[in-house]
Amino acid sequence: MWRFGHLSVAAVAELFISGIFLLWLHIGSMVHLFTTLYGMIALAKICLVLLILSIIAVFIQAKKYSKRVWWMIEASALLGVLILAGFLISLSPAY
């Protein structure tokens, strides 16, 4: 299980970096990130992913948590990411 944890951290980091790179290709400039609907939803998705990662870090540091609470937080946050991803698919890129 410990080995899988290291692999999952690397996979999440790779997904985050590639997602930021692809966002940059679709947006074109920082101005479009704040002025277009596509950019604002993408920014909300980035913020939600960072929030998820920070919650995970807090739970790992605490080492005292209910598995039920953990699953509820993680499931609802990931559902939010999927909903935002669905909105991004339906919109045209900002360039």
Q: How far apart are CA 56 and CA 14, in angstroms?
A: 17
pLDDT score, position 26: 83
pLDDT of residue 85: 86
Per residue in 32-73, pLDDT (tens digit) is 888 888 888 889 988 888 888 888 788 778 777 677 877 888
Give the span between the Cα atoms of 54 and 47, in whole angstroms: 10
Between CA 1 and CA 51, with CA 49 as vertex, the angle to 5 degrees is 95
Contact 84, 43 (CB under 8 A): no
Q: Is the pLDDT of residue 1 over 60?
A: no
- Residue 94: the pLDDT is 65
